[in-house]
Structure 1
Amino acid sequence: MRCGVMTMNKGSDIPLRVTADHHLAEEWELVLLAQGLSPSVRRSSDGFVLSVPEENAERALAGLLAYESENAAKLEEGSEPVDAPSLLVASAIAGLVILVFFSVTVIWMPNEPWFERGSADADRILYGEVWRAVTALTLHADVVHAVSNAVAAAVFLGAISTVLGAGLGGALVLLAGAGGNLANAYFHGSPHVSIGASTSVFGAVGLLGALGMARRRRRAFSRRRAWLPVAAALALLAMLGTEGQRVDVWAHLFGLLVGGVLGILVAFVAPRAPGLPIQWVCGSGAIAVLIYCWTIALR
């Protein structure tokens, strides 16, 4: 069996994936139809090609990654998916945190030294101000930057929450973003400054891809498809994480890689979503870390 991820082409519909397995292509199509999208499957010389309208590409890939990670977990452990309210809460919190921080730092209190004290300044991070790796995730230069990251964070943290739960998922996404910023600072050195939640967004993409891969590889019958979620994550990085003059491609890549490592670890340490008490501890801990880092930055 052969399957893969297609590159992005111009046009109203773009190809997302191709596979030699007609049943697998139909499965992808049904998953996207259930999400209210308009996918199509056609046969080509390469196999069966799944396509969606260009404006739905991000949502479609996120949905497929979430489905594959969740399905692999259920096959292995028989765990139930996280309930819909948890997914909605996680999505809402992710988007609102970004928009609220943008409103405070740019609109309501623009004269405060938010960007001076909180940006991921590589020189200062290397000097010991490691909290910047966290605070930079909440800063955005303009409304387009903030809204696009808020939407993406809501989509992908919601997807992560269906697999790991809102608390653990949120904590891991924050950790992946901070880890990506730290790696980016050490890679670039001085001078390099970055801001934005997109490092965490691609950390979530890496988490989803790695969870799907690791859990599939632990079952012999699914190993031929084990790398499919990783390929989808890399395709998403190529489509969304490399365009634009001010895009920090390396930050996106490091976020993806750190998220991938965390995803592999979690797949073996926590094969099913933890219970509510642990979710609360993880979620509260993530919020506490965020508040603590900003407290240090502004003191």
Structure 2
Amino acid sequence: MIPVAVTPEVDLAHLWSLVLHAAGIRHSLRHGEAGLQLLVSEENSARAREELRLFAEENRNWPPERAARVEREAIVEKAPIVLPVMGGLAVFHAITGGWESNSHWFAGGVLDRALVVSDGQWWRLITALTLHADSVHLLGNIFFGGILVYCLCRHLGIGIAWFSLLLTGVIANAINVFFHDDPYHSIGFSTAVFGMVGMLSGMRLRRIGGWQEMVLALGSAAGLLALLGSSGERTDLGAHFWGVTVGLLVGMILVSLGLAGKRALAPGRQWLLFAGSLATVFGSWLYALYSPWKGW
């Protein structure tokens, strides 16, 4: 038996072994000073080398560099903290109650077009994201939102993910208000949930590219919008549509700026940005409840 190939990589050695096994060439692997040696009989050595050469030539550019780069850079944070924030939404709903309660929380925080446009009550673009009409509304947003924000945090990091999510929800609410007539009222985290659908689709579209990926990304976003966001008595289709649309743009911008799929910020700065996003929500509620010119 003579060596026809040697490598220190165990996986590559076993791959060579599979190639020769598929070609019907008897062989063995043996540990040597330089690594694992692939041994064959002398009469089969030329054939074995040719099989390995053809295998290497056929797989020279595999996996494609673009796909390998995407896979390598995809995960930023392996175990992001999502449950406490989703739990916070549930606790907040227990405090505020549903829309029928007519509490001061809804009076000060609901997205009211007339008050936003005429009185400049900008905080409602943010506070409305944290209010829910009832428990069913809340649980749907927590379930789907929790899954989506977990994926988003893994690709962006906890700070960039929550900041982008909040920004997307606010912009989508603002556009939706602009295109509605009075009276118009809206509440719920679902605008941000569909914003995350758009962001994940936009990130995939911009990072991988190609018309197939464009169809897949846009089709998946449109499919989820049609399946989950276009039916129901209280469904705000405009909020969901603008959430997806703004999310697509934000996702593509994040990839263009190099903020997706890589550690663009140190962990400390990610947590600082996350804390700043939470502080923005808390600050908006303080303004809604205690502002002297809140107008209600």
Residue in 1 that maps onto 2:94: 103
The equivalent residue for 2:277 is: 286
Query: Aligned residues: percent identity?
Result: 32
Q: How does 1:234-249 map to 2 (within 5 A)?
A: 234-249=222-237
1:113 counterpart letter in structure 2: H
Counterpart Cα distance in 2 of 1:73 and 1:120: 42
SS at match of 2:159: helix
The answer (yes or no) to whether the contact 1:216–1:223 under 8 Å persists in 2 is no
Q: 2:220 aligns with which of 228, 232, 239?
A: 232
Partner Cα separation in structure 2 for residue 134 and residue 194 of structure 1: 11
Runs of 4+ in 1 over 4 A off after TM superposition: 71-74
**For residues 254 and 80 of structure 1, do their structure 2 counterparts lie closer, same or farther at Cα, with a shift above 3 Å needed?**
closer
Whether 1:79 aligns to 2:79 is no
CA change 1:145–1:192 in 2 (3 A) is same
Change (3 A) 1:234 1:196: same
Q: 2:205 is matched with which residue: 206, 213, 221?
A: 213
After superposition, the Cα gap between the structure-2 partners of 1:225 and 1:259, relative to the gap in structure 1 and judged at 3 Å, is closer
SS at match of 2:94: helix
Q: Which residue of 1 aligns with 2:164?
A: 172
Residue 135 of structure 2: aligned partner:
143
Q: How many residues align?
A: 220
Aligned to 2:184: 192
Deviation sequence 1:37-86 (CA, Å, 0-9, x none):
xxxxxxxxxxxxxxxxxxxxxxxxxxxxxxxxxx9786258425134321
- d(CA) in 2 for partners of 1:242, 1:207: 19
Contact conserved, 2:77 with 2:153, CA < 8 A, in 1?
Answer: no
Distance, in Å, in 2 between the alignment partners of 1:263 and 1:211 is 5
1-structure distance, mates of 2:243, 2:116: 17
Deviation at 1:162, TM superposition (A): 1.7
- Match in the other structure for 2:4: none
How far apart, in 1, do the equivalents of 2:276 and 2:74 lie? Answer: 25
Distance change (3 Å), C-alpha of 1:142 and 1:80? closer
State the alpha-carbon separation in 2 of the partners of residues 157 and 282 from structure 1: 15
CA separation of 1:74 and 1:206: change in aligned 2, threshold 3 A? farther
Describe the SS at the equivalent of 1:188: coil
Alignment RMSD (CA, Å): 2.1
Work out the CA distance in 2 between the residues paired with 1:258 and 1:193.
20
The residue number in structure 2 matching 1:122 is 113
Q: Tell me how far 1:277 sits from its aligned partner.
A: 2.4
> 1:260 maps to which residue?
248
Once the two structures are superposed, what CA deviation does each residue of 1:18-54 show, in whole Å capped at 9, x if it has no partner?
Answer: xxxxxxxxxxxxxxxxxxxxxxxxxxxxxxxxxxxxx
Distance 1:76 1:250 in 2: 33
Gaps of 5+ in 2: 1-64, 291-296
Q: In the TM superposition, what is the alpha-carbon distance from 1:231 to its structure 2 partner? A: 1.2
Highest CA radius of gyration, 1 or 2?
2
Contact 1:94–1:150 (CA<8 Å) still a contact in 2? no
Question: 2: distance between equivalents of 1:184 and 1:111?
Answer: 23
**Of 143, 148, 154, the match for 2:146:** 154
Instruction: Name the aligned partner's letter for residue 249 of structure 1.
Output: L
> TM-score normalized by structure 1?
0.69
C-alpha displacement of 1:264? 1.1
Note if contact 1:72-1:212 (Cα within 8 Å) is conserved in structure 2. no
Uncovered stretches (5+) of structure 1, i.e. residues with no partner: 1-70
The 3-state SS of whatever aligns with 1:84 is coil
3-state SS of paired residue (2:145): helix
TM-score (normalised: structure 2): 0.69
Q: Assess if the C-alpha contact under 8 Å between 1:177 and 1:199 holds in 2.
A: yes
The Cα shift of 1:229 comes to 1.6
* SS in structure 1 at match of 2:76: coil
Question: Contact conserved, 2:110 with 2:128, CA < 8 A, in 1?
Answer: yes
SS at match of 1:85: coil
